[in-house]
Amino acid sequence: MTLEGWRLAQQNQILDSGRCPLLATIPAETAADLDGLFEYGLARHLDGFAVLVEHS
């Protein structure tokens, strides 16, 4: 299932219910590429970890 498919399926149940107000404010295009976002975040964590290990 794509992110857009999930958003459409959950729109009425979660996003419009008021239970997740912060999630409802995130534009759909913000996380269009979840794999890219994951890889970017992982790379930043690994970069920081490498510096920590280097100084130990």
Structural tokens at position 32: 């269009």
15: CB partners within 8 A, 6+ apart: 7, 23, 24
- State how far the alpha carbon of 33 is from the alpha carbons of 9, 17, 18, in Å: 18, 25, 25
pTM: 0.45
Domain residue limits, the chain:
3-54
- Residues 10-38 pLDDT 10s: 776 777 788 888 877 877 677 667 788 88
Q: Is the pLDDT of residue 48 over 90?
A: yes
More reliable by pLDDT, 36 or 43: 43
pLDDT of residue 32: 67
Q: State residue 23's pLDDT score.
A: 77
Residue with tokens 């920590």: 52
Name the DSSP class of 47.
Answer: H
